Structure 1
């Protein structure tokens, strides 16, 4: 709720009083206009009534004239009768002018004119003694009289209501004006008491602000346009060692403080020498922040952070500057330590990155170079099986089968390793991905390659994501094939694929009711070569889930698993829903 000043209250009261006087005058004027309009309406009605009586008299005279000339022929009747009708027609025209604002009366006037014309036309052949036009004309005239009287009464009632309303308004405004004058008198009476209370309250507030200012952890001083100090707090003494003299130039005070400014660090990180000149430049800006390395008398160096802001009055005009001085020596030393630690960390990270790159190159080279001997072993073993199986005994054939099986596993392991390092090198694209289409493609591919698997697959509607479509398809293929594999020994094998929408990312999952895993070993699932089941139970190389984790992490997502032994497992991963 806002409060008005004394002058504002007087202005408002004066304007309200003037408004009331104007309103009363307006109400009087409105009443005067209403009376004038009522008078005009009354005069118009009176003229119309007189005109109707005159026309009615003329019609009756014409009818009497027709009776008098009944049975005669000749032009004498038509001449006298025509003059009478002509006079009537002129008066009807005058009547039309008088009733121009009344559509209904205008319609009656037109009927009246039509009947008078018909009456004149019939008189050209015979004297209209018993003509039906007389009664119709008189009937219309009587109808117009009744309507005009009703209209007059209606207007009179309206005008009277308006006059009553105007008088009520005048009365209300007069009462309100009296109330307003009384209120203004009370305001003037109380204003002096309020001023005294306001002055006391202002004095208390000034004392409180001074106490707050002197108990601040930071030093504060303010300078005017002429760069003279007009305000400071007690903390300045502790930070600088000297209280400035009010109305003294701040540069003179700085020189008197007894310490030397070693250097100034600007907010953009630049170290500036010749400090006093530089500080003056900072003080000329509308807003600036810098730190001073001040060498006090003695061995200590103090680091002060200085914030300068332009000081403006209520109208936004500059009146000086306010300066906030903060002791930041401890923070500066800690920041220096942090910078040094960050530099060491960056060096160590570079070393680790170089080591990882060398390890990846070595692993890739080894994996790639192992392909040829493995293929040779596999090829020669197949030759032995095809050409010498009959020569070898059962144990020899079994050993050849073991060799072929292990070379196949080794070949798959090498392929998975190469895929893993390929994914590590390639940066994923961020394009819209239709997750529903990718899931359907994976299901079709897996069912074609392993038709013996009988699974009940439930696929929910999946929201689209952003990422590298081939990489994400690899994630889905690995997870769904694992779900098929680890639930293959169940009679009622079930695989469920679904997801949910989150804030900036979508979560997807693949769930099965197969072998599951012991949850305490869940942290090993996504490590390379880590398996929780033996190869005799389920085939695999232990790299598929590591590939899943690598792809998802390179998309900025997360991957985790939940499961229980012999009760199935659920694998979750997240992908960005927007770029």
Structure 2
């Protein structure tokens, strides 16, 4: 191997170049040189502008919690210029209950325990005396230029969540008062319904007297010497008055059902069904299939009225049908008893299953289904008053019908 022969001057010059190159490399790797003035990397003016004009509040704290730097957004959050914050302790602007939380976070600077950042929520006090809330993201920075050798800083990004906190408080307050407001509105609705029922009963009672007068004088006219046309007119008056008398009686029955006193106890539903069958009788030729019924929580008299009305409804629906059949059974679903009454009678249009529970609403002509259209309205009101539910289903005309009742199960 040939070893180059350098002269003394050349050797000294090469060594000097190597020293200068090493110094240049070290200078390039020096954080102070890379970061530039005040620790800003590269183009300090650009990074300074980015920091100051960011839409999110930024603060830099030292170990003691002193604010070293703050941007415009952080100052605006507290109602100050950013320069007015620098040099102050953050605890001055922090709610006293959170001083301990800040001290714990600053303690992580010593042991370098804050790895990967941390989130917190601070309640801050503004310069005008008002409070605001900030969602804070924190990371530890080791900046030799600013904190000194081995020093650490806490970098904070603050997002104003004051509006969100107010919405959360409003929601909590709404939830806390919702139950009481529901109870109050329920009581108001029940009061109005009770007042309406009393009014209905009063109207039914007050109409009875003038109606009796109409029937009395119309009866006298029937015995008078009238021509044929007049007799037909009087007969129409009497028939209409009788019809009105029936409707008033039905209204009175509905009002009594809605205002009667209830005694909710555990009862044997089979015994109530026996009593209802005895009251309503049995339709000629009807085959009744019944299973054992469980005990439920209800009012005995009200439930007997409900079953009697539904039985009479089934008898009318199956009248004249071939092999009329009615099946009654029940099953327990959770804490409730579901009772079914299913017949193979006339059925109804399923589009009107809610209308059939309205007062004076009938889905069949009078000749096919006699009645005033009050029975099912009474049934629904009695079920609701007992804490139960009822609904009806049918596949259509001549497809039979099913009534489903739900009551609390007896313990």
Instruction: Place the TM-score, normalised by the shorter chain, in its bin.
Output: 0.5 to 0.7
In the alignment, which residue of structure 1 is the partner of 2:374? 543
Computed over aligned residues only, the root mean square deviation of the Cα atoms, in angstroms, reads: 4.4
Equivalent residues of 1:504, 1:576 under 8 A apart = yes
Superposed, which structure 2 residues align to 1:141-156 within 5 Å?
none
Superposed, which structure 2 residues align to 1:487-502 within 5 Å?
487-502=318-333
How far is 1:297 from its partner? 5.8
Deviations 1:147-191 (A, max 9, x none): xxxxxxxxxxxxxxxxxxxxxxxxxxxxxxxxxxxxxxxxxxxxx
In the alignment, which residue of structure 2 is the partner of 1:201? none
In structure 1, C-alpha distance between the alignment counterparts of 2:203 and 2:99, rounded to whole Å: 63
How far is 1:300 from its partner? 7.7
In structure 2, C-alpha distance between the alignment counterparts of 1:405 and 1:486, rounded to whole Å: 26
In structure 1, C-alpha distance between the alignment counterparts of 2:199 and 2:322, rounded to whole Å: 45
Q: 1:405 to 1:511 in 2, by over 3 A?
A: farther
Equivalent residues of 1:483, 1:514 under 8 A apart = yes
* Secondary structure at 1:509 match in 2: strand
In structure 1, C-alpha distance between the alignment counterparts of 2:259 and 2:165, rounded to whole Å: 41
How far is 1:504 from its partner? 0.7
Superposed, which structure 2 residues align to 1:441-460 within 5 Å?
441-447=275-281, 453-460=284-291
In structure 1, C-alpha distance between the alignment counterparts of 2:330 and 2:279, rounded to whole Å: 21
| Pair 1:576 & 2:411 matched | no
In structure 2, C-alpha distance between the alignment counterparts of 1:293 and 1:361, rounded to whole Å: 57
Superposed, which structure 2 residues align to 1:6-405 within 5 Å?
256-261=90-95, 276=97, 294-296=124-126, 301-303=131-133, 330-336=164-170, 339=173, 356=193, 358-381=195-218, 388=223, 402-405=236-239
Equivalent residues of 2:98, 2:122 under 8 A apart = no
How far is 1:355 from its partner? 5.3
In structure 1, C-alpha distance between the alignment counterparts of 2:324 and 2:357, rounded to whole Å: 24
Q: 1:348 to 1:244 in 2, by over 3 A?
A: farther
Q: Tell me the matched-pair count.
A: 287
How far is 1:360 from its partner? 3.7
In the alignment, which residue of structure 2 is the partner of 1:424? 258
Q: 1:513 to 1:366 in 2, by over 3 A?
A: same
* Structure 1 unaligned residues grouped into runs of 5+: 1-237, 247-254, 262-274, 281-290, 306-326
* Secondary structure at 2:377 match in 1: helix
Superposed, which structure 2 residues align to 1:553-568 within 5 Å?
553-563=384-394, 564-568=396-400
Deviations 1:294-338 (A, max 9, x none): 424689843489xxxxxxxxxxxxxxxxxxxxx785153244268
How far is 1:548 from its partner? 1.3
Equivalent residues of 2:263, 2:299 under 8 A apart = yes
Q: 1:244 to 1:371 in 2, by over 3 A?
A: farther
How far is 1:379 from its partner? 4.2
Greater relative contact order, per chain length (Cα 8 Å cut-off, separation 6+): 2
In structure 1, C-alpha distance between the alignment counterparts of 2:100 and 2:371, rounded to whole Å: 71
* Secondary structure at 2:339 match in 1: strand
* Secondary structure at 1:482 match in 2: helix
Equivalent residues of 1:416, 1:543 under 8 A apart = yes
Equivalent residues of 1:496, 1:512 under 8 A apart = yes
How far is 1:419 from its partner? 3.3
* Secondary structure at 1:472 match in 2: helix
In the alignment, which residue of structure 2 is the partner of 1:435? 269
In structure 2, C-alpha distance between the alignment counterparts of 1:549 and 1:429, rounded to whole Å: 18
In structure 1, C-alpha distance between the alignment counterparts of 2:235 and 2:61, rounded to whole Å: 96
In the alignment, which residue of structure 2 is the partner of 1:513? 344
